[in-house]
Amino acid sequence: MKKKIIGIFVCMLLIVTMLPLTTMAGDPENPEIEDEASDLFGPLSFAWQPSFIDIEKGWFQDDAENLHITLKVMDLSFKYWRQIYSIHWTYKGTKFSVGSHIVLFGTQKGSFLREEIGQSRDWISTEIEEHMCESDDTITWVVPKEILGDVHADDILEETYAWTAIRTPFEPVTYVLFLGEIVKDYAEGSNYIIQY
């Protein structure tokens, strides 16, 4: 318990340090995305509802330089599986997402911003910074606004949603055995209005 409390304190400090000037437009109390517990779907969901990918909520925040996007699941922890976490939105007609793949008990991970090229279903992928906080069950991605284009206050991020999933650690096996994700979760959200 003590460890958990210290962990939460460290997470809060991190977030406060990351957001020195931000007013709370989207925040944990007013999240753009909210979801139910134990509502996972996919081929093995009838037998398995792992809380470590079960979406609880997600929210956006921004300061002058960066967009901060946070996903909270029911109980974040890192297992053997390929765990995939993502939040998506559309900005000025272009689809964006932030996401992380975490494999083999958290020993390997990658986090990225993806931008769809036109309507091509091809993507530009850029590595980005993320903060994973197991003690408060959140992943926060940091996206420099300059990557998104000419972002201004009152611009709208629309069609927001969160998506999480589990695949086998070695991706080709996933497709051979399960035709995709073993279990997954999805939650639609409301628009976010850029503050700065």
Q: Where does this chain bind Ca ion (CB under 5 A)?
A: 35, 39, 54-55, 185, 187
Question: What one-character DSSP code corresponds to residue 181?
Answer: -
| CA separation, residue 143 to residues 36, 66, 140, 159, 176 (Å) | 27, 5, 10, 18, 34
How many H helices and E strands in the chain? 3, 12
Residue nearer to Ca ion on the CB measure, 57 or 145 = 57
CB of 3 to Ca ion, least distance (A): 26
Q: Hey, is 153 helix, strand or coil?
A: coil
Residue nearer to Ca ion on the CB measure, 26 or 50 = 50
Residue nearest to Ca ion (CB): 35
Residue nearer to Ca ion on the CB measure, 55 or 148 = 55
CB of 5 to Ca ion, least distance (A): 25
CB of 188 to Ca ion, least distance (A): 9
Q: What is the dihedral of CA 165, 171, 177, 179, to 10 degrees?
A: 60
**Token output for 152:** 């201004």
Residues 130/158, Cβ–Cβ less than 8 Å: no
CA distance 95 to 113: 11
Residue nearer to Ca ion on the CB measure, 39 or 65 = 39
CB of 55 to Ca ion, least distance (A): 4
Residue of 11, 54, 63, 55 whose CA lies nearest to 31: 55
Residue 126, strand partner residues: 113
Residue nearer to Ca ion on the CB measure, 49 or 135 = 49
CB of 99 to Ca ion, least distance (A): 17
